[in-house]
Structure formats: C-alpha cells, structure tokens
Amino acid sequence: MGKRSSYLDLVLNPFNLLRTKRILNVNPTVVPLRKEPDHINLYVYDYDFENLHQEKLAEVKDAFRYKHSASVTWINVDGIRRKDIEDICNHFNIHSLVLEDILSIGQRPKVDDIDGTMFCLLNMLYFNENESTVETEQISIVLGKQFVLSFQEDASRDVFNPLRDKLQFRNNKIRQSGTDYLFYSLIDMIVDNYFLVMEKLSDKIELLEEDIIRHPNKRSLAKINQLRKEMIVLKRNISPVRDMINGILRSESPLIQERTEKYFKDIYDHIVQANDLAENYRDMMMNLHDLYLSNVNLKMNEVMKVMAIVTCLLAPATVIGGMFGMNFDVIPYAHHKWGFYLTCGMMILIPLVMLYLFRKRGWF
C-alpha cells in the first residue's frame, strides 16, 4: 500500500514541491514547534570493566543519582520534552545555551566546549524505502567527566543497538575505556550509518540510470528531481560533520584523552570519504540529467528523421498528382488508356529509387 501511494504521488505530483519546501525552509532562529511526546524513555547503562548495570527509568529524577557515579554512565533519552530536558540539564550542570540547542530544530552539526562539558549535535540519517527520501533525526550528545548524555527525538528507531550489544561483553573496548571512548563510539555509529543511507541512494541512482537509457520520459525527470533533493539533504547533514570532528580534534578539553584522539581521526577519515561520495553522487545526478536531455533529443531527432524521409518520399507523388490535376485542355497522357497506370507507376517507382539512394548513403 505504501509503494502504491508513493507511485500515485509521483504521477499526480511528479516534482513534489512540498518536499522542496520542507528541505529549503530551515530557520534555526524560529521558535521550534516540535510536538512533545506523551512520555519519554530513559535508559541508563552504568558500567566498568567488571560490572554492567542497565535499566529503564520510570522518572527523570531517577537518573540524578548517577551524576557522581564512580563508573562510566550513559543516559539515553528517547523523546524531547522541554520540562524533562530542563530538569536533566540543570541537575548535570549543562549550560543554558546547550539546553536551547538540544530543544532546537534544524541546527547545523556543531561541537561546543562549555563549562567542563563537551556538547555535540549532529543528525542521524535514515532512508525511507517507501518514499525514497532521506529522513533526519537530531541527536544531541553531552560528554561529562563520568557521564555521557544522549538525546534523541524518535524513540522508535536509532543506530545504537550494536553499541548496546557490545556493552554486554566484558572484554569489549568500550567496557575497558572511559567516557571519551563512549562519546567516540556514539558519533562513529552515526557516521557509519551515513554510508548505509548512501548505498541506498546509490542503488536508486543505478536503477534510474538504467531507466533513463531504456525509457526516458517525464517520470524519469521527476525521479531525477527527487533524488537531487535528497542529495541536498545528504550533503547538508554530512558536510558540517567534518568541521565538527575537526573541532573535537583541535580542542584541548581534558575530557578527551590523548590516546582517544586517534579514534576521532578515524571518524574524520570516514566523514571525508562520505563527503567525497556525496560530491560524486551529486555529479552523477547532473550527468543523469544531461543523459536524460541527450536521450530525449536523440529520440526527437529520430522522429524528425522519419518524418523528413516520409515527406521526401511523398513529394514526387504530390508533384505528379499536381501536374495531372492542372486545369489545361491538353495534358500528355491525360486521356490515354494507360495514363492512370503510368502515373501510379511513377508515383511508386520514384519513391522506391529515392528509398534505395537514402539507404545506400546511410541516412537511415
């Protein structure tokens, strides 16, 4: 049903101007109109090399006791509700500017080192198969001395499940390291997921290229336009992450240990590669647009060539018929018993000779 609906939308509204408005109408200075959920989900993972304690909290205040935990604490908040976010940030001494960024919508990926905490904001990307669109979810991560806070908008999906699975094993690198490595792991999984989204887009581009080569039509142009919009979303969310990771590497925050910097350099390499791929995909979309125009022009030229040949083949018959249709008293063979047949024979023979000459010259 979803795919059928998507197809009907493509037919009735091939260029999807509403999607264009959503992509381009981004203003972080506007007061966010996010609909607050009825409840939020809080999950706590408190661990060291020997022990792991994980639980789902019923209330926000239950997380306050982990502020001075001697082990590493990861508090993941699914759902953005102002009152709860304010309570958490106030208790963990998070700066008010960071609080506003967490509650905001449409922020550019960034990193800030404020009041002994490091704040990182970036977008998690998903690919909607039914709509063939790139969807974003704003993720805010706060690194403290012994805690990491992560805030997500959508509780129904994220990319952190592999990290949760790794925490179950004592010999895992995460269990053996501190909060900075957990901070790195969260960002790394978000960045790695970018490549999965880009693979989906790559598949769509390949199918579109085949479709344009075989059957170029207005629907192909609409698909090109749609994918170009998704490339804008992809590029807008990937490109700033490079500056964000570079900002972490250049920071002199005591929260990032020197031995962990090499892992952030690895993320930097990945995001540079992702940015290059996004550039390549954008170039491919431009090439597909040129390919579409070339195929349409080629098809039009083929039609014009056939029409020109038909016109040329009919020209002798038109001339001969016009000559014998003149209003003169004396016209050669006009009253001859074989005149009609000779005339028809010439109308057929001359186009056949012309057809042979055209074929011999390679005109078609």
Quick one: three-class SS letters along 66-88?
A: HCCCCCEEEEEEECCCHHHHHHH
Which CATH number is 303-360 given?
1.20.58
pLDDT at 309: 84
pLDDT at 28: 59
CA distance 268 to 32: 31
Residue 242 contacts residue 268 (beta carbons within 8 Å): yes
Domain with CATH 1.20.58 in the chain: 303-360
Q: What is the pTM of this model?
A: 0.79
Q: Which amino acid, residue 189?
A: M
Domain range 2-295, CATH class: alpha beta
Burial 125-161 (b: 16+ CB within 10 A, else e): bbbeeebbbbbbebbbbbbbeebbbbbbbbeeebbbe
pLDDT tens series, the chain, 364 aa: 444 444 445 444 555 666 666 666 666 565 556 677 778 889 999 999 889 999 998 888 889 988 888 899 999 999 888 899 999 999 999 999 999 889 888 888 999 998 889 999 999 999 988 888 888 899 999 999 889 999 998 877 888 989 999 999 888 899 889 999 999 999 999 999 999 999 999 998 888 888 888 888 888 888 888 888 888 888 989 999 999 999 999 988 889 998 999 999 999 999 999 999 999 988 888 888 888 888 888 888 888 888 888 888 888 888 888 877 777 777 777 777 787 888 888 888 888 888 888 888 877 7
pLDDT at 88: 92
Domain with CATH 3.30.460.20 in the chain: 2-295
How many CB atoms are closer than 10 A to CB 230? Answer: 24
pLDDT at 274: 93
CA distance 230 to 131: 11
Q: At a CB cut-off of 8 Å and minimum separation 6, what does 224 contact?
A: 208, 212, 285, 288, 289, 292
Nearest 5°: the CA angle 100, 249, 262 is: 130
Classify 362 as helix, strand or coil. coil
Q: Output the six-digit token pair for 178.
A: 């501190």
Report which secondary-structure segment, H or E, holds 53: strand 52-57
Q: Could you say which DSSP state residue 256 is in? A: S
Q: Output the six-digit token pair for 120.
A: 């990182």
CA distance 158 to 28: 23
CA distance to 9, 209, 297, 299, per residue, from 221 (Å): 15, 11, 14, 15
